[in-house]
Amino acid sequence: MIPAAVGYVRADSVEAAVAALGEHGDEAKLLAGGQSLIPLMRLRLARPSVLVDMGRANDLRGISVDGDTVSIGALTSHSDLEHSAELAAACPLLAHVASQVGDPAVRHRGTLGGSLAHADPASDLPAAVLALGGTLVATGPGGSREIAATDFFTGFLESALAADEVLAGVRVPVSTGGWSYQKFNRRAQDWAIVGVAVAEGGAGVGLVNMGSTPLRASAVEAAVAGGAGASDAAASAAEGTEPPSDNNADPAYREHLVRVLTERALVAAGA
């Protein structure tokens, strides 16, 4: 299928992208790797008037570790995350989750920023960033601001980014404690039916595809903090979720799965 006609501007820096968004208004859409957006455009489920292509903003690409913080440019590809020795040492959960996104071709083009800004509850990386307690850096006409990952995902495919804001980067704490990512699906290439990301032995728990947004399993985190074992902590994994229904799973099955996968993730993470 073929996308509807669309305008196109290139923005090779954050500033240029912010300016372009300001100029073209609400119907403009940022294009990073395009791995989420272009399929939606082909199905004509997304019909932006203008694409603001940030693909060449190379200063938004890269991973750096400074003290206890890992900073990642928004345009860093999943593949770069997957293969980064630095990230594997500083935050193995994030490197591993990146390696579980889509397939190799998708990982070559898809970007961390694009995945987070798309705010798809079925995506892997948002849950990992939630579990890690990450911070997102947004740049708008008035400058940059930081948004806690917990506050970033506001609705189905909606984020806290303003229409003229660009997600420039992500910061996560160095996290080498026990971690696990349990992705449950029927085919390797598919989105998770349910996914659970656990960081620091259960201090952070992010859930995939358990509601209209990527979720943090606060009740599980609290239980772990309170000394509960994996099984007891996981029992509350479905609390506060509103899982969707689709061909693969209804809400009750997802609630069952999220408890099972959370327990497995906590055990694997040494909780």
195 binds other proteins (CB under 8 A): no
- Which residue number, 51 or 116, has a Cβ lying nearer to other proteins? 51
User: d(Cα 192, Cα 180) in Å, to the nearest integer?
Assistant: 15
- Which residue number, 69 or 99, has a Cβ lying nearer to other proteins? 99
In eight-state DSSP terms, residue 201 is: G
- Which residue number, 53 or 200, has a Cβ lying nearer to other proteins? 53
Rule CB under 8 A: choose which of 172, 184, 213, 269 binds other proteins: 184
260 binds other proteins (CB under 8 A): yes
- Which residue number, 45 or 226, has a Cβ lying nearer to other proteins? 45
- Which residue number, 198 or 258, has a Cβ lying nearer to other proteins? 258
| Beta bridge partners of residue 60, listed in sequence order | none
Contacts of 243 (CB under 8 A, 6+ apart): 194, 209, 210, 211, 249, 251, 254, 255, 258
Rule CB under 8 A: choose which of 251, 256, 268, 270 binds other proteins: 256
Interaction residues for other proteins, span 147-166 (CB under 8 A) = none
45 binds other proteins (CB under 8 A): no
Question: Which stretch in 19-27, 88-96, 189-197, 207-215 sits in contact with other proteins by CB under 8 A?
Answer: 189-197
- Which residue number, 158 or 250, has a Cβ lying nearer to other proteins? 250
| C-alpha distances in Å from residue 113, one per residue of 80, 99, 124, 168, 241 | 13, 15, 13, 7, 25
* Sheet of 194-199, strands arranged across: 180-184, 194-199, 204-208, 215-216
If you compute the radius of gyration of the chain from its CA atoms, what whole number of angstroms results? 18
Residue with tokens 């209804």: 250
Residue 210 is encoded by which pair of tokens? 């358990």
250 binds other proteins (CB under 8 A): yes
User: d(Cα 99, Cα 125) in Å, to the nearest integer?
Assistant: 10
Positions touching other proteins (CB under 8 A) are 1-8, 31, 34-35, 38-39, 41-44, 51, 53, 55, 79, 83, 102-106, 108-109, 184, 186-190, 193, 246-250, 253, 256-257, 259-260
